[in-house]
Amino acid sequence: MLNRLLPAVAMALCLLAPANRGAAQETIQPLLQEQSELLLESSRRTIQPAIDAIAASGLPQVPAVLETWAARDMWQRVEDGAFFRAERNEDRSYTLHDFDTGESFGPYDKDALEQLKPNSGIQALIGAALVRFQLSDPDPATRAGALDNIDRNGEASHLEPLAASIEGEDDPVLRARKERLLTLLTIRFSTDKAERVAAIESVAGSLDVAVRATLNPLVATTLAAGTELPEGRNIARELRPGSEALPRLQAYELLVSEGLAPKLVTSAALRAMLAEHIEGGAVAGVPLERLSAPAARREAFAGLVEAGLVEPAATEEDIDASLAAHVFYQTYAEPDAGVTAAAEEALSSIDLKVGVNQFLDLGLDALSLGSIYFLAAIGLAITFGVMGVINMAHGEFIMMGAYTGYVLQQVIPDYTVSILLAIPLAFAVTFAAGVAMERLVIRWLYSRPLETLLATFGVSIALQQLAKNIFGTQARPLTAPDWLNGSWVVNDIVGISYIRIAIFVLALIFLGLFLFMMKKTRLGLETRAVTQNPKMAASMGINPDRVNMLTFGLGSGIAGIAGVAIGLYAQVTSEIGQQYIVQSFMTVVVGGVGNIWGTLLGATMIGFLQKGIEWFNPSNTLAAQTYMIVFIIIFIQFRPRGIIALKGRAAGD
């Protein structure tokens, strides 16, 4: 009977064995216990094999295990060494959850458990291992997080899972990110030269900062020296000692640092060493009276070296011989010459494109600055250019407009509504202030430029002090609405803020309104008539006093609107107008007094000039303004009437 049962039992065991092996392969607990020693040690230097073993198992529990471990929620049960995800209870005990079955155990006291506490370095390694599972996660946010991890800590192991995940990616944005990262990782880590070169060529001309960061290490060089050029090294270039790229002393110091030549001793240091070793009227057997000769000093020094009293050193005369006996060269960190050649060619195309885009970005900044100067100067173009009044308080009208916007925002918290209302209100406030100033001060000083300058300068100081008394000396914010926040970004180099775009548009609007007023309205006609010939205009029934009052008020009102615009990106203080008064006068004078088109051209020229000077000297904006003023002084010597000079009777006045 037993003999008949044995074959049946054996056959059953054989049939069950594969199933049991498969079941064993579906549980991660045995693997965790195999790596128990490394897991508990938690050392960044030794943990990588454990992470690799867990990740390479391919078990579905791996992502949960790694995430739990990284979050410091994985604990070991002391009694049997098993690992679980632990959840703390209200009574400070812990409930354990099995990674394989999800079954819960407990509660357990903390003394019965041991927590795994990976440090930040281990957490980074775990995160890198998690990436391969997260790249194909159903949740787009998880996939995006995995790509962020690769972006920060990309490594060669990410190449294969990243490439495999692209085909099934249905999100076009994430797919583009994956393809970009795959290209960058291929450049860095691929072992196939053709793949690397093709990836490098595909990013030629790219403005992506990450592309440049990936290519630059490939062309990084190290300076070295030897008796001959080494074989099998990727040599970038050979350098000649004494050239601009390799100064003579730097080349010799390199030889000294690599142990190829004795250290250099200067004449003064040599004399000092000889003086320290004078014995019996001689140094190393060389009499003192002979030491005035260079050859004798070298002989004495050699004697000291031979006696072991000083370390060997080279004199100035020995340098040339040492340099002539060695070669100096730069080697690439990247060993493959084909890869470095492709990287250099790609970086050259990138540098060219970067230069073009930097020029475009500089042009946008200059246009933006020019529009600000034009908006600040358009009111002055009326009061100074048309009326001939030197108004040193023009900057304070800009300041009044900015404070009007600030006060309105304290009353109306909706920034969009407050800014839209601030523009007409600032115009009204500064228009009234300008009319009052013209009636009280300016009207008595026409045709007396020096007295006008002094009087308006006094008004400027008074208005600044009044603003300090009311608002204090602390800067006040004029907050832009949300739709003006941010920037219009063309690429990684070219961009401009929406606030500056709005100021540019506002400047164009006021240019159009000014031209319409001067050409198509009665006030404009009367203003031009009074400007050309006040007496003749008065004989035709025009009231010059009324025209001057309204014109001065108009110029002041436009300055107030400029203050609202400028306050959106500059802190509002009592001195905000003083920052633009000089540029405003220069804009009007350079453009041509009394000509609005000249004011526009003058603002544009000054904007480009200032940005151009700042580009050559970015660390010193004060120097840039100084150079700009010097240039304008020279310009006025050749064009005293500005870019567009008035013609006819007004030009003679």
pLDDT digits (tens, 9 = 90+) for 405-424: 999 999 998 888 998 899 99
State whether 501 and 633 are in the same domain: yes
Q: Does any domain span residue 97?
A: yes
- Contact criterion met (CB below 8 Å) for 340 and 244: no
pLDDT-based confidence at residue 377 (cuts at 50, 70, 90): confident
Q: Does any domain span residue 568?
A: yes
The structural domain count of the chain equals 4
Q: Of 88, 122, 156, which marks where a domain is finished? A: 122
pLDDT-based confidence at residue 403 (cuts at 50, 70, 90): very high
Tokens of 489: 């970004």
Is the model more confident about 350 or about 17? 350
State whether 41 and 81 are in the same domain: yes
Give per-residue pLDDT as tens, 277-291.
888 788 888 888 888
- Contact criterion met (CB below 8 Å) for 521 and 514: no
Average pLDDT of span 24-49: 81
Quote the pLDDT of residue 426. Answer: 93
Q: Does any domain span residue 626?
A: yes
- Contact criterion met (CB below 8 Å) for 255 and 319: no
pLDDT-based confidence at residue 385 (cuts at 50, 70, 90): low
Average pLDDT of span 26-43: 84
Q: Does any domain span residue 591?
A: yes
State whether 616 and 521 are in the same domain: yes
Compute the chain's Rg from CA coordinates.
Answer: 40
Q: Does any domain span residue 412?
A: yes
State whether 112 and 149 are in the same domain: no
- Contact criterion met (CB below 8 Å) for 36 and 99: no
State whether 255 and 291 are in the same domain: yes
Average pLDDT of span 144-162: 83
Is the model more confident about 124 or about 564? 564
Q: How far apart are CA 616 and CA 637, in angstroms?
A: 25
Q: Does any domain span residue 574?
A: yes
| Region of poorest pLDDT, from 138-152, 201-215, 230-244, 372-386 | 372-386
pLDDT-based confidence at residue 9 (cuts at 50, 70, 90): very low
Quote the pLDDT of residue 24. Answer: 42
Tokens of 88: 């703390």
Q: Does any domain span residue 229?
A: no
Quote the pLDDT of residue 462. Answer: 93
Tokens of 553: 């008020």
pLDDT-based confidence at residue 428 (cuts at 50, 70, 90): very high
Q: Does any domain span residue 538?
A: yes
State whether 189 and 150 are in the same domain: yes
Sign of CA dihedral 268, 273, 274, 279: positive
State whether 589 and 562 are in the same domain: yes
State whether 451 and 510 are in the same domain: yes
Tokens of 79: 């009694």
Quote the pLDDT of residue 5. Answer: 40
Q: What is the mean pLDDT of the chain?
A: 83
Q: Of 306, 321, 336, which marks where a domain is finished? A: 321
Residue-range definition of the domain harbouring residue 146: 135-219
Quote the pLDDT of residue 466. Answer: 92
Quote the pLDDT of residue 621. Answer: 63
* The one-letter amino acid at 598: G
Please say if the pLDDT value at position 638 is more than 50.
yes
State whether 96 and 145 are in the same domain: no
State whether 305 and 210 are in the same domain: no
Q: Which residues of 429-453 are buried (b: 16+ CB within 10 A; e: fewer)?
A: bbbebbbebbeebbeebbeeeeebe
Q: What percent of the chain is modeled with pLDDT above 70?
A: 92
SS3 for 58-123, per residue?
A: CCCCHHHHHHHHHCCCEEEECCCCCEEEEEECCCCCEEEECCCCCCEEEEECHHHEEECCCCHHHH
State whether 421 and 551 are in the same domain: yes
State whether 603 and 633 are in the same domain: yes
Give per-residue pLDDT as tens, 43-87.
888 888 888 888 888 788 888 888 888 888 888 888 888 888 888
Quote the pLDDT of residue 275. Answer: 84
Q: What angle do CA 551, 555, 556 make, to 5 degrees?
A: 115
The H or E element containing residue 222 is: strand 221-226
Please say if the pLDDT value at position 254 is more than 50.
yes
| Region of poorest pLDDT, from 8-22, 121-135, 380-394, 434-448 | 8-22
Q: What percent of the chain is modeled with pLDDT above 90?
A: 10
CATH code where residue 629 lies:
1.10.3470
